[in-house]
Amino acid sequence: MATLGRPIARGGTAEAQRHGVRFPAINWWLVAAIAVFAVGAALPVLQSSATTSRGFDIRAVEQRQAELRGEIAALEAQIATQSSLERIRQRAEAMGLHPAATPVVVTVDVPGPEPARIPAEYLPAAAPTPERPDSWWRSLLKWLPLPE
Amino acid sequence: MAFEAAQRTGRVWLPAAGFGLFGLLVLGRLVQLQVLEHPQFAAKAASEMVASDTLYARRGAILDRNGHPLALTVDTWDVYVSARAWRDETVAVDASETLAAAIGGDAFAIRQQVRDHESGDILVARDVPFDVGRELEKQGVPGVSLLPNIDRAHPEGDLAASIIGFIGADNNGLAGIEAALDSVLGGTPGRAIFERDSAGRPIPLGRYVARQPVPGADVVLTVDRTLQELAERELRKAIEEHKASGGTLIIMDPNTGEILALASEPSFRYSTLDLSRDDQLQLLRNRAITDLYEPGSVMKVITAAAALDAGVVTPNTTYVDTGVAVVAGVPIRNWDYNVYGQQTMTGVLQHSINTGAIFMVERLGAERFHQYLDAFGFGRRTGIELQGETPGIFRRPSDPDWSPVDLATQSFGQAISVTPLQMAVAFAAAINGGKLLEPHVVKGYVLPDGTWRPVAPKVIDQAISPQTSNTLREMLGAVVNPGWYHPANPRFYTAGGKSGTANVPVVNGYNDRQIASFVGFAPLENPRILVMVKLDDNADLQTGTQAAGPVFARVVDEALRYLGVPPDKGPEADR
């Protein structure tokens, strides 16, 4: 067992205190290298994760789009059926209306209303909603050669 | 410590040469695979990794002239069952009962259908409604998978079925407008290419659309659903009343050639259509354009138009009817065996005198008469968009069996075969200022980008002069309104027209069956509609005037009122 040859003064001198606990010098090059390595290793993981996540998002949106198209088509057919001649006749009969036996013609100098045009798929398309801006890290993905 | 010096030996070269040779072989193989045969292997690798899929284009709608849908595309599902998954009886019973409750039908029958197959996916239901299929998908019934499909919905039911037609199991048009404009309605399918994993599943983001599907255009018909309903209703009523085997009713705009309504009976019904039955296949043809008939006395209008236009007669030209005309030694009598004495050409039309028509055609001569028949479009297709149109036929002097009797009988509508549409179009030319128009059932197209592309009226020929046409219109007005009761005289509108009653030709003559028809227009001065009514084989043997005339009058009154045309006669006209 090694022993000190001389006693250490209580409290010690400032010099002694300064040299008593020695911290290793930080090698900033090493830190930088580790950081680059860590980022380099994490980036493909992030990229892969974001890609997969976006892929699933796209599939989900496509599926939803198909569902909505189906619903729209079904609703159009339903509306068309509701406004069919047979349905109008049934409603008219339920209201106690009958076809006019002798027409009464009244000439007016005001043009009649435009007939309703259906289905509504011919209406002008709604203005597109602006896209939400991407988060900063997602915007990094734009630099990658991913398929659109 | 001393080491013994190693002895120089040549054995080391043996493994070195072996390794070197092996290395060269590997290198050579790599060059072969990666350089020389690169394209083949690259393609093979791509085929293993990449698959493609067809993106079906949405089929366009068929609308009436006011935009009311007559045929729409709706999403449906085809339901498949995996035979392997249903090998377990318990699974099969539970799943089939769930399936039967959702799509209808018998669970046992579904199980039997699947049991008939060892493996694979069995189609158990086609075109299941969209919401039902989606509910099934959510339930996750074992062994059941759903593939998207489309079907056509007909909001107006069976209305205009003979015009619209239908699509088959592969979603291609098989009849009517669906078939005639299949490429327009069907659009262009797209193509998606995707990378797949070892199980064949698409890899996320490994998919791209090589070609976007282009949806089909919407077809807007000239047909008005209200007039079509009127035409079908009146035709059915007339067929029932006169015990006819069928018939045709056409309403057209004589100034543009637009078909506003076209009813043909018998015809198929969407609700009862079964293509596996032969008798149903007979119903697919649209008789207004496929079936030929001899028009009978309606043809006298064309004969009179030709004679007036050629200047060989005027409305007041007279001749003496003796009840019979002898042509090439063959006596030809009037339809009612009557003798009318001295008659004008207007009188010939009013009384429908056969000898009067022969008088006119003899003044014209065969060559000129046939030139007029050509100008009126007889013997060739009208050019309507519908499929299966027949051109019609009539005998000419150059034909081997030609006889002067043919010319005489053609003048009053025998020995000439026409389609109902052909007769309507020719009649329209006679009263619209002389223009022979191409009839059309398509008013225009709404392209996928919303662009409206109209179909313009097409004038094929100037059959007669406008003056002749005006004169003829007045003569036909005198037919419908002769000063005494006429069944074809509408209550609220002035009109003109002509009836026809013709026997049905058979080999070497005619049988007792007849075709009764009436073709007319209204209002008289400014015709808005032309109506053609034809009843086939009416068992009550009433004439065209008696059987088809009242139908014409009712259709004119109702159709013009619907079109907003003010009455020009009767108490309403005096207001």
- Whether A74 and chain B come into contact, CB under 8 Å, resolves to yes
pLDDT number for residue B274: 80
Q: How far is CA B347 from CA B309, B499, B524, in A?
A: 18, 14, 18
- Whether A142 and chain B come into contact, CB under 8 Å, resolves to no
- Whether B484 and chain A come into contact, CB under 8 Å, resolves to no
Q: How far is B243 from chain A (nearest CA, A)?
A: 26
- Whether B134 and chain A come into contact, CB under 8 Å, resolves to yes
pLDDT number for residue A50: 87
Q: How far is CA B243 from CA B268, B515, B537, B542, in A?
A: 19, 12, 8, 10
Mean pLDDT of A117-129: 53
What secondary structure letter does DSSP report for B125? E
Q: How far is A8 from chain B (nearest CA, A)?
A: 55
Query: Is pLDDT at A6 greater than 60 in this prediction?
Result: no
d(CA B534, CA B422): 13
Contact B157 A70 (CB under 8 A): no
Query: Is pLDDT at B537 greater than 60 in this prediction?
Result: yes
The size of chain B, in residues, is: 575
Where is average pLDDT lowest: B66-75, B101-110, B301-310, B535-544?
A: B101-110
**Which helix (H) or strand (E) segment is B319 a member of?**
strand B318-321
Structural domains in chain B plus CATH codes = 225-442+452-574 (3.40.710.10)
Residue with the two structure tokens 């007319």: B520
> Which of B146, B205, B228, B569 best probes binding to A when mutated, by most A CB atoms within 10 angstroms?
B205
Categorize the per-residue pLDDT at B473 as very low, low, confident or very high, splitting at 50, 70 and 90.
very high
d(CA B54, CA B188): 10
Nearest to A85 among B156, B203, B446 (CB): B156
Nearest to A74 among B74, B155, B566 (CB): B74
Categorize the per-residue pLDDT at B5 as very low, low, confident or very high, splitting at 50, 70 and 90.
low
pLDDT number for residue B92: 87
d(CA B326, CA B508): 20
Contact A67 B134 (CB under 8 A): yes
Strands (E) in B112-230, as ranges, are: 121-129, 144-153, 166-167, 173-175, 190-196, 202-211, 218-221
- Whether A95 and chain B come into contact, CB under 8 Å, resolves to no
Contact B68 A80 (CB under 8 A): yes
Q: How far is B128 from chain A (nearest CA, A)?
A: 12
Contact A122 B450 (CB under 8 A): yes
Range with the largest mean pLDDT of A15-19, B191-195, B389-393:
B389-393
pLDDT number for residue B2: 54
Burial class (CB in 10 A: 0-12, 13-18, 19+), B188: middle
Contact A80 B153 (CB under 8 A): yes
Query: Is pLDDT at A1 greater than 60 in this prediction?
Result: no
Nearest CA in chain B to A117: B67
Nearest CA among B436, B435, B438, B423 for reference residue B384: B438
Nearest CA in chain A to B554: A101
Q: How does B25-34 read in b/e, with b if 16+ C-beta sit within 10 Å?
A: eeeeeeeeee
Contact B566 A51 (CB under 8 A): no
Residue with the two structure tokens 């022993």: A3
d(CA B45, CA B364): 80
Nearest CA in chain B to A123: B450
Q: How far is B287 from chain A (nearest CA, A)?
A: 25
Mean pLDDT of B237-248: 96
d(CA B448, CA B62): 13
Mean pLDDT of A134-146: 67
Contact B66 A67 (CB under 8 A): no
Q: Which value, to the nearest 10 degrees, does the dihedral of the CA atoms of residues A136, A141, A142, A148 take?
A: -130
> Could you read off the pLDDT of B313-348 as tens digits, one per residue?
999 999 999 999 999 999 999 988 899 999 999 999
d(CA B335, CA B113): 63
Q: What is the mean pLDDT of chain B?
A: 90
pLDDT number for residue B284: 85
Nearest CA among B548, B566, B425 for reference residue B480: B548
Residue with the larger pLDDT of the pair B433 and B512? B433
Categorize the per-residue pLDDT at B487 as very low, low, confident or very high, splitting at 50, 70 and 90.
very high
Contact B72 A80 (CB under 8 A): yes
Nearest CA in chain A to B228: A85
Mean pLDDT of B259-275: 89
Residue with the larger pLDDT of the pair B461 and A109? B461
Q: How far is A36 from chain B (nearest CA, A)?
A: 28
Asked if residue B538 lies in contact with residue B566, where contact means CB atoms within 8 angstroms, the answer is: no
Categorize the per-residue pLDDT at A123 as very low, low, confident or very high, splitting at 50, 70 and 90.
very low
> Which of A61, A76, A108 best probes binding to B when mutated, by most B CB atoms within 10 angstroms?
A76
State phi, psi for B166 to the nearest 5 degrees. -155, 170
pLDDT number for residue B412: 95
- Give A51's contacts in chain B (Cβ within 8 Å): 204-205
**Which helix (H) or strand (E) segment is B520 a member of?**
strand B509-522
What secondary structure letter does DSSP report for A109? S
> Could you read off the pLDDT of B287-320 as tens digits, one per residue?
999 999 999 999 999 999 999 999 999 999 999 9
Strand B62-63 to strand B218-221: parallel, antiparallel, or no bridges (unpaired)?
A: parallel
State phi, psi for B304 to the nearest 5 degrees. -65, -40
Q: How far is B204 from chain A (nearest CA, A)?
A: 4
Strand B173-175 to strand B144-153: parallel, antiparallel, or no bridges (unpaired)?
A: unpaired
Nearest CA in chain A to B206: A147
Give the contacts of B102 (CB within 8 A, at least 6 positions apart).
Answer: B128, B132, B135, B136, B139
pLDDT number for residue B471: 97
Strands (E) in B223-280, as ranges, are: 246-252, 259-265
Query: Is pLDDT at A119 greater than 80 in this prediction?
Result: no
Nearest CA in chain B to A59: B204
End-to-end CA distance of chain B: 145
Q: How far is A37 from chain B (nearest CA, A)?
A: 27
- Please write down the long-range contacts of B284-287, taking CB distance under 8 Å and 24 or more positions apart: B284/B175, B285/B388, B286/B162, B286/B163, B286/B176, B286/B262, B286/B386, B286/B388, B287/B246, B287/B248, B287/B420
pLDDT number for residue A132: 67
Q: What tokens appear for A140 in the block?
A: 């990094």
Residue with the two structure tokens 């997602």: A138
Query: Is pLDDT at A10 greater than 60 in this prediction?
Result: no
**Cβ atoms within 10 Å of B380's Cβ, excluding its own:** 12
d(CA B209, CA B453): 29
d(CA B562, CA B528): 12
pLDDT number for residue A140: 67
Mean pLDDT of A79-106: 88
Query: Is pLDDT at B424 greater than 90 in this prediction?
Result: yes
Nearest CA in chain A to B562: A103
Q: How far is B491 from chain A (nearest CA, A)?
A: 10
Q: What tokens appear for B537 in the block?
A: 């084989």
Q: What tokens appear for B133 in the block?
A: 């299929």
Give the contacts of B146 (CB within 8 A, at least 6 positions apart).
Answer: B77, B78, B79, B80, B128, B133, B136, B137
- Give B75's contacts in chain A (Cβ within 8 Å): 66, 69-70, 73-74
Categorize the per-residue pLDDT at A145 as very low, low, confident or very high, splitting at 50, 70 and 90.
low
> Could you read off the pLDDT of B353-364 as tens digits, one per residue?
999 999 999 999
Query: Is pLDDT at A147 greater than 80 in this prediction?
Result: no
Q: How far is A15 from chain B (nearest CA, A)?
A: 56
Query: Is pLDDT at B39 greater than 70 in this prediction?
Result: yes
Nearest CA among B145, B153, B173 for reference residue B71: B153
Mean pLDDT of B120-142: 87
Strands (E) in B438-508, as ranges, are: 442-446, 452-454, 459-462, 496-506
Query: Is pLDDT at B571 greater than 70 in this prediction?
Result: no
> Which of B58, B75, B207 best probes binding to A when mutated, by most A CB atoms within 10 angstroms?
B75
pLDDT number for residue A5: 52
> Could you read off the pLDDT of B67-87 as tens digits, one per residue?
899 999 999 998 998 888 888
The 3-state DSSP class for residue B147 equals strand
Q: What tokens appear for B60 in the block?
A: 């366009």
Q: What tokens appear for B409 in the block?
A: 């009988």
> Which of A122, A142, A144 best probes binding to B when mutated, by most B CB atoms within 10 angstroms?
A122
> Which of B74, B76, B127, B164 best probes binding to A when mutated, by most A CB atoms within 10 angstroms?
B74
- Whether A76 and chain B come into contact, CB under 8 Å, resolves to yes
Interface of B with A in 144-163 (CB under 8 A): 148, 153, 155-157, 159
Q: Which value, in Å, is the radius of gyration of the alpha carbons in chain A?
A: 40
The 3-state DSSP class for residue B395 equals coil
- Please write down the long-range contacts of B195-204, taking CB distance under 8 Å and 24 or more positions apart: B195/B49, B195/B50, B196/B49, B196/B50, B196/B51, B200/B51, B202/B51, B203/A55, B204/A51, B204/A52, B204/A54, B204/A55, B204/A56, B204/A58, B204/A59
Asked if residue B273 lies in contact with residue B169, where contact means CB atoms within 8 angstroms, the answer is: no
- Give A107's contacts in chain B (Cβ within 8 Å): 566
Residue with the larger pLDDT of the pair A123 and B493? B493
Q: How far is CA B331 from CA B323, B360, B410, B470, in A?
A: 10, 17, 15, 34
Whether ipTM > 0.90 holds is: no
Interface of A with B in 6-65 (CB under 8 A): 51-52, 54-56, 58-59
Share of chain B above pLDDT 90, in %: 63
